[in-house]
Amino acid sequence: MLYSMTAFASGKGAFEAYSWAWELRSVNGKGLDLRLRVPEWIEGLEVAIRGRLGKAVSRGNLALSLRIQSEDQAGSLSVNTGQLDDVLGAMAEVEAQAMDRGLSLAPANAADVLAVRGVLEVGNADQDTSGLCKALLVDLEPLLENFLNMRAAEGSALEAVLDEQLQSIARLTSDAAAAADARKAEMADNLRAQLVRVLENSDGADETRVAQELAMLSVKADVTEEIDRLSAHVKAARDLLAAGSPIGRKLDFLSQEFNREANTICSKAQSVALTTIGLELKTVIDQMREQVQNVE
């Protein structure tokens, strides 16, 4: 099964006096980047969520947010005095160094200080949050299931598009092979005409040496290897699609190899028909590369 890196899921839950809302979304990424916004006062929650997401997903930039409300708000907010002292001390040091350098900083207000992570705490530091943590982790599972189902649905659509593009590349590769065969007679005639022209305009030219040079030019214009490699790349890409995710990086590498062979065919074409096919190949390959960026 193929998975897309783009997906979204949301959910709500409740436990005792608490209610919460989840949001989980992901976009394309070269690796796995997890960004979590969860309450720090629930001991062990972030570590557990990070571990669960890391097992479920291999690539993508994932952002998860959890908003919790309590029916009993009394004493739910408190100031971490130790963290506050550290923050105020750091602010004083920054301001002192700024003044030594003749810099003027805008004064900070209480809201700025409270916005610093760890200064304002939600809940009682002595509160046992193990039950809440367990309930949240249980509720995470259906959220994650919906999220993965969306990645799978997007991946299925991607697979259909990629399969169609590979069919186009295979067809164009076959057309390129036919065009290359069709130009052989024309190239032979051109080489013979060039040989005659060189010999007529160069006194004492070595006919054998000139023929060898022209033959080398003919070899350099041959695209058989490029066509064979394109066919091999198509098979490799189809094998990867059959294997399923995670294959995004391998497909990305293959698409670069596709593009390399198409560029070489264009540079060696020496015929309008083969050049046209090479340009069509490049167009389809570029479209495929765009789609591959979404594959896990």
For 47, 120, 121, 133, 188, the CA distances from 40, given in Å and listed in that order, are 10, 10, 8, 11, 77
Q: Residue 177: CA atoms inside 13 Å, Cβ hemisphere, count?
A: 13
pLDDT computed for residue 109 by the predictor = 76
Taking phi over 0 as left and psi of -120 to 50 as alpha, with beta for the rest, 118 belongs to left
So what's the pLDDT on residue 268? 83
Q: What is the pLDDT of residue 74?
A: 46
**Predicted pLDDT at 280:** 96
Q: Report how far residue 284's alpha carbon sits from residue 167's, in angstroms, rounded to the nearest whole number.
A: 10
Average pLDDT by stretches of 10, the chain with 296 residues: 93 93 94 93 94 94 94 61 78 80 75 64 66 96 97 94 96 92 66 58 59 53 86 95 90 94 88 91 95 93
Domains present along the chain, CATH in parentheses: 7-75+127-152 (3.30.230), 79-114 (no CATH), 154-292 (1.20.140)
pLDDT confidence of residue 206: 59
User: Which amino acid is present at 149?
Assistant: N
In this prediction, residue 84 carries a pLDDT of 76
Nearest to 139 by CA among 8, 7, 6, 15: 15
H helices present in 202-223, as ranges: 207-220
Give the pLDDT confidence score for residue 195 in this predicted structure.
56
pLDDT tens string 238-258: 999 999 888 999 999 999 999
Count of Cβ atoms closer than 10 Å to residue 226 Cβ: 23
